[in-house]
Amino acid sequence: MRYDYLIVGAGLFGSVFAYEAKKRGKTVLVIDKRDHIAGNIYTEDVEGINVHKYGAHIFHTSDKQIWDYVNQFVEFNHYINSPIAVYKDELYNLPFNMNTFSKMWNIRTPQQAKEIIEKQIAELSITEPKNLEEQALSLAGRDVYEKLIKGYTEKQWGRDCKELPAFIIKRLPFRFTYDNNYFNDRFQGIPMGGYTKIVEKMLEGIEVLTSTDFADFKKTHPDIADKIVFTGMLDAYFDYQLGALEYRSVRFENEVLDCDNYQGNAVVNYTERDVPYTRIIEHKHFEFGKQPKTVISREYSSEWKVGMEPYYPVNDERNNALVAKYQELAAKEKHVIFGGRLGNYKYYDMDKVIVAALEAVKGEFE
Ligand code: UDP
């Protein structure tokens, strides 16, 4: 059987593409090396709680079209992400806002906060921030940087803040209002019943082979499809011939606890260097769960090595230069579309993955 498309990876990019291709009468086969669909947005039921098995995902977007798009598959709840940061014995609200500043400096007004931050920035003489450290310092001043950014970032990325790109910290809002919403986006929520459901809906009526590795599959089925949508690691596709790209991996230590509420919030970040994990997720709070037990996950960040799960591309200068070279090779693979966080080596949020998938669909069918 020959298909129009072989889709490698049943995550968000691959599943959107599969859904749209099928809608247009194309034949599609989806394969995934894991024993389940949904990629890293996969959720698993533990004690009646949807556990985000590959890390917490909070859907947020300012794009009405994308919001409507995901809502055709599943309804979303009204969860708003408002993480807490723990630094030694101090506790702060995130993102950086008036609640954070009033706690840090015992002040009350935006004017007071601005004066303190401006004074700290003036002592630095940074004109054009060149890296994450300079960006963070010139945005939030030294206290916020030292207590809430430096340790967390260096744990998460395993690199000095001076070696990281500024854009990573620009993901976070910084505001002088008492607003703990982690995102500025107009739409936000968690799919009711878990993320896996979205992908199940997208892949309804589509042939899916799980536990199927592309490298093996293509040897036994070299002509299975006219075109391939590849959402695995870009450098792996090319057998690392130009060298390996770097990724960050995360290890989760999951625990089922015999209490109904462990930390009172879905996300608590541990921003000091000496605590080995970056954050603890308490999954039930994403869905306002009332279960008698709770499931928590401690996140330990590490450099990716063969056999681990790749989560974050490391978009520093070296990797970006290497990825540009791989993309030249990719452009010559006329029958392959590369997509998703791994296929594009981009720190995409979910809404941006969908945008990219729909653009790929447009490129193919319009
Ligand atoms: N960050 C930080 N302190 C925090 C939370 C985040 O310094 O308490 C920085 C850190 O550099 C991180 C970046 O902000 O890599 C982006 O955080 P985000 O929560 O968007 O990361 P994700 O949820 O994608 O892992």
Whether the CB-CB separation of 307 and 52 falls below 8 Å is answered with: no
pLDDT score, position 247: 98
pLDDT score, position 311: 97
Beta strands in the chain (DSSP E): 3-8, 28-31, 43-46, 49-52, 59-61, 84-87, 90-93, 187-189, 207-209, 225-230, 247-257, 267-270, 279-282, 294-303, 312-313, 336-338
Whether the CB-CB separation of 111 and 101 falls below 8 Å is answered with: no
Nearest-Å Rg of the Cα atoms of the chain is: 22
- Could you tell me the distance, in angstroms and rounded to a whole number, from the CA of residue 149 to the centre of ligand 1? 8
pLDDT score, position 126: 87
Ligand 1 neighbours, Cβ below 6 Å, are: 85, 94, 148-149, 152-153, 156, 168-169, 171-172, 269, 271
Quick one: DSSP state of residue 81? -
- Could you tell me the distance, in angstroms and rounded to a whole number, from the CA of residue 348 to the centre of ligand 1? 13
Pocket test for ligand 1, best of 41, 84, 97, 149 (most atoms within 8 A of CB): 149
Tokens of 91: 């506790």
The pTM of the full predicted model, rounded to 2 decimals, is 0.96
Q: What pLDDT digit, counting tens, does each position of 243-280 carry?
A: 999 999 999 999 999 999 999 999 999 999 999 999 99
Provide the mean pLDDT of the chain.
97
Q: What pLDDT digit, counting tens, does each position of 11-28 carry?
A: 999 999 999 999 999 999
Nearest-angstrom CA–CA distance, 280 and 297:
5
Q: Which of ligand 1's atoms lies nearest the C-alpha of 83?
A: 8
pLDDT score, position 189: 98
Tokens of 364: 């193919």
Active site residue 171: yes
Q: Which of ligand 1's atoms lies nearest the C-alpha of 149?
A: 7
Pocket test for ligand 1, best of 60, 142, 168, 348 (most atoms within 8 A of CB): 168
How large is the average pLDDT for residues 312-325? Answer: 96
Q: What pLDDT digit, counting tens, does each position of 177-189 carry?
A: 999 999 999 999 9
First-to-final CA distance of the chain: 26
- Could you tell me the distance, in angstroms and rounded to a whole number, from the CA of residue 132 to the centre of ligand 1? 11
Which distant-in-sequence residues (6+ apart) come within 8 Å of 79 by Cβ? Answer: 58, 188, 189, 190, 266, 286, 287, 288
Nearest-angstrom CA–CA distance, 264 and 180:
15
How large is the average pLDDT for residues 210-216? Answer: 97
